[in-house]
Amino acid sequence: MRDYRKFYIDGQWVAPATPLDLEVINPANEEACAVISIGAEADVELAVAAAKRAFTSFSRTTRQERIELLESCVEIYKKRYDDIAVAIREEMGSPQTFAVEEQADCGLGHLAEALRVLRQFEFEEDVGNARVFREPIGVCGLITPWNWPVNQIGCKVAPALAVGCTMVLKPSEIAPLSAWLWTEVMHEAGVPAGVYNMVNGDGPGVGTALSKHPDVDMMSFTGSTRAGIAVAQNAAPTVKRVAQELGGKSPNIILDDANLEVAVTRGALHMFANTGQSCNAPSRMLVPAAKLAEAEDIAARAAASVVVGDPANTETTMGPVVSKLQYDKIQGLIEAGVAEGAKLVAGGPGLPQGIDKGYFVQPTVFSAANNDMTIAREEIFGPVLTMIPYETEEEAIAIANDTVYGLAGYVQSESMEHARQVASQIRAGNVKINGQSGGYAVPFGGYKQSGNGREWGEHGFTDFLETKAVEGYGE
């Protein structure tokens, strides 16, 4: 069992101020796979103080110095790539193939993208007689979730390093193993002492202490909308910047001219990827009412094709959800769907057939739902697809936008012009046409209660920068 009970502060692994152990549970077998320490305000104080000291010098480093640092991070990450994939498999039950090809790739992808952007980013410009500078904002508090652990660490830490910020990371206490390995990468790559710090802990303890701390200049948070509100409230008295990537209930509009077999299969399998534990998952599939029965059959076949089981087995395509708490929540929402009269097309309550241990959920499809049902309004965060029929395109767009969230949207059509027209009417920060992805350079973030600010690529630098105008600079 991994012993990860130390924190990384000021370039060293240190014991917590007050020891408090927490076992990390492997959700595939319900057994402890590691033990970490839960930090407290005293640990945050040490980490923030280290980051504040380091900011004075690191903020003045040259572009070339930071390029060389990120290049070193990329090379060390490559060496630890397989170790990180295994850690993600253990901590959150990600199937081995998915962990290697998708989850672990995110960390490398964000480091490489930050390096690409840094090489050409304009940190200053002339406006009239003024020189406008974009400068590192200061000490950053970073709080990351368990569902895409290295992805969210990478898309915060990489741009923060690139622009010259210092930071304190609080990874999820539910899935902290990959964060430990990420920290080893930072150390071996030569990140200067105090620039990057990592303290494990929970939201009420470490998260609150970071958010409230007067020497933390900005908070970057990814997680639930409920927790994001708490971070913003805690940060408000010190008027620090808060960037948030929160929940979602993303619509997937299957237009009448779409290839139904391709579009429904794509949408259903996307919903089951990562066991449905993605904030931008296409959880509401909007289907022309006249084609609903056919779409149900396609979705049922897609669900049946999912191989649920041991994440270590390379044949497995869907592992467990991350914890018993999540499992119980998802089971309750599936039961709510049945109780509210949605048609159960595939899956349902209980463990998948042949599985009697682990937090496994059946790939589940509901149909004939309406947008007022619980399963259409709440973020389930599990492998549960809700199919909603519509009569007109205008109605589909209205249903798509009838949500407090606005993180992502999806449009499927055989006509690119048609898809673009509908995509322009979806109130969300990221819209995919026919399942296409723009990669790590494309900004990611949400409208409404899905958050504010943007991560990834050049847009991901913005939240870590302050703007200073020096007037009379050219005279």
- The per-residue pLDDT for range 162-212, each reduced to its tens digit, is 999 999 999 999 999 999 999 999 999 999 999 999 999 999 999 999 999
> Dihedral, CA atoms, 398, 403, 404, 407, nearest 10 degrees?
-90
| Mean pLDDT, residues 220-236 | 96
Residue written as token pair 């408090």: 20
Angle at 441 between CA 436 and CA 447, to 5 degrees: 75
Per-residue pLDDT tens digits for 351-399:
999 999 999 999 999 999 999 999 999 999 999 999 999 999 999 999 9
Residue 237 has pLDDT above 90, yes or no: yes
Pick the catalytic residue from 279, 296, 379, 455: 279
Residue 106 bears catalytic tag? no
141 pLDDT above the threshold of 80 = yes
Q: 10, exposed or middle or buried, with CB in 10 Å at 0-12, 13-18, 19+? A: middle
Question: Domains in the chain, ordered, with CATH?
Answer: 2-246+450-471 (3.40.605.10), 251-439 (3.40.309.10)
Q: How far from 227 is each of 143, 211, 212, CA to CA, in Å?
A: 10, 11, 14
Q: pTM for the complete prediction?
A: 0.97
Local confidence band at 474 (pLDDT 50, 70, 90 cut-offs): confident
Q: Where are the alpha helices (DSSP H) in 149-286?
A: 149-163, 177-189, 208-212, 225-235, 260-272
Query: Which residue do the tokens 């998708």 mark?
Result: 102
Scored b (16 or more CB within 10 A) or e, 210-236 reads: bbbbeebbbbbbbbbbebbebbbebbe
Q: How many CB atoms lie within 10 A of CB 82?
A: 12
User: Which residue among 91, 113, 245, 455 is the active-site one?
Assistant: 245
- For the chain, the farthest-separated pair of C-alpha atoms sits apart, in whole angstroms, at 77
For residue 191, what is the DSSP state? P
The torsion region of residue 319 among left (phi > 0), alpha (psi -120 to 50) and beta comes to beta
Tell me how far apart the alpha carbons of residues 280 and 145 are, in angstroms, rounded to a whole number: 14
73, two tokens = 């991070």
Decide if 165 is catalytic.
Answer: no
Can you say how many angstroms the Cα of residue 304 is from the centroid of all Cα atoms in its chain? 27
Whether 231 contacts 219, CB under 8 Å: yes
Q: What is the identity of the amino acid at 83?
A: D
